[in-house]
Structure 1
Amino acid sequence: MRTLVNSLRLVVVILVVVAIVAQWLVSMRTPQYSPFNFFGYFTIQSNVFVAVAFAVALVSAARRKRADLVVSLLRAAATVYIATTGLVYNTLLTNVDVSTSVSWSNDVLHRVVPVWVVLDWLLFSDRARLRLRHVWWFLVYPAVWLIVVLVRGATDGWVPYPFLSPSLGYGVVALYCLGIAVFIALTGILVIGISRLRTLRV
């Protein structure tokens, strides 16, 4: 079982890297390309987070370590962020142009990876039992990301997603931000709860 799980995680890491690179190579050829914009999308960052978390988990598994708390927190955070990416995209952005020009890469980053990462956390037992207080750690990175996006929206006018545009009014944007924060917190609580379940032994 351990070999199967690690093999699947390695596939996810490779898939994320290939999908991001494919999209990046196409985006670089467009006149409006900017590395700060491309890597400013939460989709890209959350998928990179997944690749890093799974890579760290693979290294930990290779060293035969069991349920390390730091590794488990990293995987849990990756699960929360990629679940947010999947839900926001498939509810708010399905019919919105967010400058994604490689369709298969779009599907991998917004649908395939989110589903598999959630299943990985749900099904396999190689994770430490997390505590409710850990949910606050999950909010740090999204909060920093939102602050940077809002500052950029107010200064150079660039925002990654239309529901964060200052043109909507900061009251509306604040409601969207609050909704995302609540969803991340609730997802974090759920992820922590799942960490205490007995699942398939790895």
Structure 2
Amino acid sequence: MRTFVNCLRLVAVIAVAAAVLGQWLESARTPDYLSWNFFGYFTIQSNIAVGVALALTLVAAARRKRTDVLVSGFRGAATVYIATTGVVYNTLLVGVGVANSVPWSNDLLHRWVPLYAVLDWLLFSDRARLLLRHVWWFLLYPAVWLVVVLVRGATDGWVPYPFLAPAQGYGVVALYCCGVAVFIALTGILVVGMSRLRLVRV
């Protein structure tokens, strides 16, 4: 079972790398491409986080060690972020056209990687038990990301997603931000709860 799970995770890591690289190669061809804009998307960052978290888990498995609280906490946070990416995209952004989007990469980054990451966390037992206080750590990174995005939106006008655009009014933006923050907190609580489960032992 452990070999099978490790193979699944290796495929997921390769899929993340291929999807990010595929979209980056396409985006880099556009005249207005800026690397800090491309990597400023929460989608890209959360997928990279999942790829790194799964890679660290694979390294621990290769050393025949159980992942410690630090690695499990990072993987739990990555699971929260990628779940947020999947839900936000498929509820608020699925009908929004994105220029130079690569269809297969888009599907991997917004649908299949989020689905796999959540199932991986839920099903497989090789993770430390997390505590409710870890949810506060899960909220820290999105909060910093949001501050940076809002500052950029107010200065150079760039925002990664339409619902964060200052043009619709900061009251509306604040409502969206609060909604996403509540979702992240609730998802974090679920992720912590899932860390206590041992459905499939690996």
Residue 71 (structure 1) shift: 1.2
2:26 touches 2:100 (CA, 8 Å); kept in 1? no
2:57 touches 2:67 (CA, 8 Å); kept in 1? no
Aligned to 2:160: 160
Aligned to 1:10: 10
Which deviations, in whole Å up to 9, do the C-alpha atoms of 1:44-66 show, x marking residues without a partner?
Answer: 00000001101111111111112
Residue 68 (structure 1) shift: 1.1
Quote the Cα distance in structure 2 between the aligned partners of 1:130 and 1:89: 27
Amino acid at match of 1:190: L
Aligned to 2:138: 138
Q: How big is the alpha-carbon RMSD for the aligned residues of Structure 1 and Structure 2?
A: 0.9
Scaled by the length of structure 1, what TM-score is found? 0.98
Residue 32 (structure 1) shift: 1.6
Which deviations, in whole Å up to 9, do the C-alpha atoms of 1:156-194 show, x marking residues without a partner?
Answer: 000000000000111110111111110000000000001
Scaled by the length of structure 2, what TM-score is found? 0.98
How many percent identity over aligned positions? 74
Aligned to 1:38: 38
Quote the Cα distance in structure 2 between the aligned partners of 1:167 and 1:142: 22
Amino acid at match of 2:156: D
Alignment of 1:7-156 (within 5 A): 7-156=7-156
Q: Which runs of 4+ in 1 moved over 6 A?
A: none
Residue 198 (structure 1) shift: 2.4
Amino acid at match of 2:126: D
* Corresponding pairs, count: 202
Which deviations, in whole Å up to 9, do the C-alpha atoms of 1:85-141 show, x marking residues without a partner?
Answer: 000000000111233520000000000000000000111011111111110010011
Q: Which consecutive residues of structure 2, in runs of 5 or more, have no partner in the other structure?
A: none
Of 114-123 and 61-70, more deviation after overlay is shown by 61-70
Quote the Cα distance in structure 1 between the aligned partners of 2:26 and 2:54: 26
2:56 touches 2:71 (CA, 8 Å); kept in 1? yes
Aligned to 1:176: 176
Aligned to 2:193: 193
